[in-house]
Amino acid sequence: MHLKYFPFILGMALLLPGLATAADPEERLVKLRYEENYSPTWEETIGMFRLLDEAYKEAVLVEAGMTDCGKPLHTFIISSDRTFDPAKVKASGKTVLLVNNGIHPGEPEGIDASLLFAGDLLRNHQNMGRWLEEVVVVIIPVYNIGGALNRSAYNRSGQATPYETGFRGNAANLDLNRDFTKCDSENARSFTQIFHQWDPDVFLDTHTTNGSDHQYCITLIPPHPDQYPPALSRFLDREMLPALYTGMKQGEYELIPYVDWFYEDARSGIVGTFESPRYSIGYSGLFHSLGMITENLIYKPFPDRVKSVYQFLTLLTGYTAENGKKIRELREEALRETMEAREFPLSWRLDSTSWQMIEFKGYEMDEQQVSAVTGVARKGYDRSRPYTDSIRYYNKYVPAESVPVPDYYVVPQAWKPVLERMALNRIQHTKLLRDTVIRVTVDYIEDLKGAVRPYNGHYYHDSFTTRSEVQEIRFYAGDWLVPVRQKGMRYIIEMLEPKANDSFFRWNFYDSVLDQREYFSPYGFEENALRTLTELPELKKELEKRRSADPAFAASHNAQMAFIYNNSPWFEKSWRRYPVGRIFSSQP
């Protein structure tokens, strides 16, 4: 939907003095105030993208779905040939770059930088427009609109600038960067549709971090090579990531990997981040999209943070334009490699024996700084003592647990929230036409330890084990038969294998199977227990053996009745049985 009707807000005249026209290539149309430590509100941001829409025929601002606060989620599309339909763009052979901003509205650098970048790209500043011959740029101006509207000078306690920002949670108080696969929010549902409509070849999510302090303004959580098939893994490790680090070093703002300590002091080594699918780039990686996150450092001046994201955006767009054909071909090759895999890793562990040496510019640690607030010594960084050193960068992960890849999953229709999310992710399937008994491999959930507090609206299942059985189970007309070897193969396995890090099971979508529905009464079970021992002489022998070996058991009526119940057909076979079945051409 083309939004030419979007009204100007009252403050726009103050924010945008002396508007230029599109015909004046030396004058920026939108005027930002990041130099004044001010980042625009959501209304101002959309208003400025609207100005660019009205001024340039090569850009359009569209409503692309709803959010939890009832406001529309927008995309701003830049296409030199004025083709704004995703299918037609893909058919034209252009590469797609998707940029997401404001997932945490207290981290707004990407919002300002994207406005600056979009304006410069459209007015062909420094011949940037040449990239649009190869690339279509799609920008989500602000993803977490509810959080952006919940604006305050007291939202982000660790940073001094900008002086007013949005709130981390969305309108439903969800952290949207934990919601990409469980998809509880309207925001995530709209994003999922945007993502699959555009199928981005490269994806960028802009963030800010309040972790360690060092000399860099911007860091990168890259697409981790180990999570991709060999074709993309080699390209990332040997070509794309080195080019991005080198390119940023040649500019004003140098780039390093995100500083996540291996030890507390970065001088002792930092660890590459491996994002699971609940996060934006873990999710994008499921579909072989090269997703990455910029993390600005809150301790640096806000103008520098904005400019460093702008520098990265220009570098990434240029690289994507120059290497777009190769990226698209490698994505196709990676999909083929994925579909040929016989095993799939469910979890990963860091290989602490493998590292590379990188240059790091930090500050000396000081554990005796006296707090101006408390008057007590605190641990911190001494910015008067910068250093440059070679440090270890641990960035090799190996599979910790893998599973054989089935040919099909059978997903019962009873769990509609699961089917809705799979449909949203365009998972191909057929529905059973009649009630059918199918021989499948199923898991039983064991040793489950419950979470003591909620995490992003769920009691995430962190610790449990499984055991597998081959059973003949009745499925019903309308249940889903899902072929595994399709474009969404990685998503299918990550979501349907219960032990995968962000599976539907871990996020409580199947918790009703954990409740036992049938029980026995030690008094009421008497007659059926007697009949069962007559019908099952082997069970009777086991009961007598247990009585002889365990006097306490022999003296307990309830314990003996429980033994009979739990080891007979009376026991509820579906209790703790994960309801999704696997079909193998030959059972493993």
Torsion, Cα 209 212 218 222, to 10 degrees, reads -80
d(CA 513, CA 576): 5
Write down the pLDDT at residue 21.
42
Q: In what order do the strands lie in the sheet with 270-271?
A: 270-271, 377-394, 356-370
Same domain, 290 and 437: no
- Contact yes or no for 94/324 (Cβ under 8 A): yes
Coil/strand/helix, residue 209: strand
- At 14, the pLDDT band (50, 70, 90 cuts) reads very low
Nearest to 84 by CA among 186, 248, 197, 5: 197
- Cα 390 from chain centroid? 31
* Same-domain status, 150 and 119: yes
Domain interval for residue 446: 401-516+574-583
Burial of 99 (0-12, 13-18, 19+ CB in 10 A): buried
Tell me if 513 sits within 8 A of 542, measured CB to CB.
no
Q: Are residues 415 and 555 in the same domain?
A: no
pLDDT above 90 (res 260): no
Same domain for 415 and 303? no
Angle 174-270-490 from CA coordinates, rounded to 5°? 50
Flag whether 370 is in a domain: no
Tell me, yes or no, whether 23 lies in a domain. Answer: no
Residue 374 lies in a domain: no
Q: Residues 357-378: pLDDT tens digits?
A: 999 999 998 888 888 899 999 8
Q: Are strands 255-257 and 343-350 parallel, antiparallel or unpaired?
A: unpaired
> What length does the chain have?
588
Task: Identify whether residues 165 and 289 lie together within a single domain.
Answer: yes
pLDDT digits (tens, 9 = 90+) for 323-346: 999 999 999 999 999 999 999 999
Q: Angle between the 416-424 and 186-198 helix axes, to the nearest 10 degrees?
A: 40
- Predicted local confidence at residue 1, as pLDDT: 40
Angle of helix 109-122 relative to helix 302-340, nearest 10 degrees? Answer: 80
| Number of domains present in the structure of the chain | 3
H-type helices in 341-427, by residue range? 416-424
In terms of pTM, does the model score above 0.85? Answer: yes
Rounded average pLDDT over 300-307: 97
pLDDT at 263: 64
Give the pLDDT confidence score for residue 388 in this predicted structure.
Answer: 97
Strands 218-221, 255-257: parallel, antiparallel or unpaired by DSSP? Answer: parallel
Q: What gap in Å lies between CA 232 and CA 240, rounded to an integer? A: 10
Which pLDDT value is given to residue 11?
Answer: 34
Phi first, then psi, for residue 587 (nearest 5°) are -60, 130
Q: How far apart are CA 428 and CA 431, in angstroms?
A: 10
Torsions phi, psi for 355 (to 5 deg): -160, 165
d(CA 90, CA 330): 15
**Interval 222-234 mean pLDDT:** 95
Omega cis (within 30) before 162: yes
Check whether residue 176 and residue 45 sit in a common domain. yes
pLDDT band at 588 (very low <50, low <70, confident <90, very high): low
Tell me, yes or no, whether 414 lies in a domain: yes
Q: Does the pLDDT value for residue 546 go beyond 90?
A: yes
Residues 71 and 122 grouped into a single domain = yes
Whether 439 and 538 share a structural domain = no
- Residue 451 located in a structural domain: yes
As a whole number, mean pLDDT of residues 268-295 equals 96
Confidence of residue 24 (pLDDT cuts 50, 70, 90): low
What is the C-alpha separation between 519 and 400, in angstroms, rounded?
A: 38
Same domain, 532 and 506: no
Residue 478, token pair as written in the block: 């309308």
Same domain? For 320 and 435 the reply is no
Region of residue 260 (left: phi > 0; alpha: psi -120 to 50; beta: else) = beta
Residue pair 526/571 in contact (Cβ under 8 Å)? The answer is: no
Which residues are registered as beta bridge partners of 411?
Answer: 480
The residue assigned the tokens 């998503």 is 491
- From edge to edge, which strands make up the β-sheet containing 59-66? 59-66, 72-78, 135-140, 95-100, 202-209, 290-297, 218-221, 255-257
Strands 135-140 and 95-100: parallel
pLDDT of residue 378: 86
The answer as to whether 351 is a domain residue is no
Q: Per the domain annotation, does 145 fall within a domain?
A: yes
Same domain, 71 and 185: yes
**CATH number of the domain where residue 226 is located:** 3.40.630.10
pLDDT of residue 18: 32
pLDDT in tens, 400-447: 999 999 999 999 999 999 999 999 999 999 999 999 999 999 999 999
Is the pLDDT score of 19 beyond 80?
no
Report pLDDT for 324.
98
- Is the pLDDT reported for residue 137 higher than 80? yes
Residue 480 has pLDDT above 90, yes or no: yes
Residue 211's pLDDT band (cuts 50, 70, 90): confident
* Gap between the Cα atoms of 301 and 563, Å rounded: 69
**Listed residues 337, 356, 375: the one ending a domain:** 337
Q: Which two tokens stand for residue 222?
A: 């890259």
Q: In this structure, are 536 and 448 located in the same domain?
A: no
pLDDT at 26: 56
8 A C-beta contact, residue 318 and residue 134: no
Domain-located, residue 240? no
Residue given tokens 């993208």 in the structure block: 49
Mean of pLDDT over the chain: 93
Contact 75, 115 (CB under 8 A): no
